[in-house]
Amino acid sequence: MEPEFWNETWSNRDIAFHSANVHPFLAGQLSTLSLRSGARMFLPLCGKTLDIHWLLKQGFQVVGVELVETAVQELFDELKVTPEIIEGGKLKLYRGDNIDVYVGNIFDLSSAEIKSVDGVYDRAALVALPEKMRKNYADQVMRLSGSAPQLLITFEYDQAEMEGPPFSVTRQALNRLYGQTYEIERLTGRNYERFENVSSKVSEVVWCLT
């Protein structure tokens, strides 16, 4: 999953992963993180998800990071917000009221830049990465967030049936990535009758990491 892959994906508008709805797991399960009113949420690899709209309407602050600038531009257009654009260093910052989104590689982002956050919402970041990249990603998210509690969404299916993304991430994989730092609790899930070219069972699962 090199930068060229995601830039080409957005350039070709091959963005079926972008949902036209707020994810029901976010609205239904975010309370399990026990966050205060106005808490600051970190969204890695955020794209232009409508979940950001929902979080802002609920009074949360949002800080995100996204590799593809087109996605960030479209996010602010759809929010009807004219951002302040700050350039400097390796990443560009798009800033609005209660929202900061960094454009660039998450591995080039520092905790000093994003400052403190109260929670992490990973809807489609971990599952977008092949196995060889996940350990570095998980370590970076913990560094950036100060190991803040996470609401994390994964998929589970027979990886032999589809290359991904989204990739299958099992409970065992989560234990290896996050188990030394977090308590990992499965909250709920849903099964898909049809999912890409996968003929076997596909489950989408939401986890609480505290």
Q: Tally the domains of the chain.
A: 1
pTM to 2 decimals?
0.92
User: For the domain that residue 42 is a member of, what is the CATH number?
Assistant: 3.40.50.150
The answer to whether 187 touches 12, Cβ cutoff 8 Å, is: no
pLDDT tens track, the chain, 210 positions: 466 665 566 556 554 554 668 999 999 999 999 999 999 999 999 999 999 999 999 999 999 999 999 999 999 999 999 999 999 889 999 999 999 999 999 999 999 999 999 999 999 999 999 999 999 999 999 999 999 999 999 999 999 998 888 999 999 999 999 999 999 999 999 999 878 778 889 999 999 999
Domain span at residue 56 reads 3-209
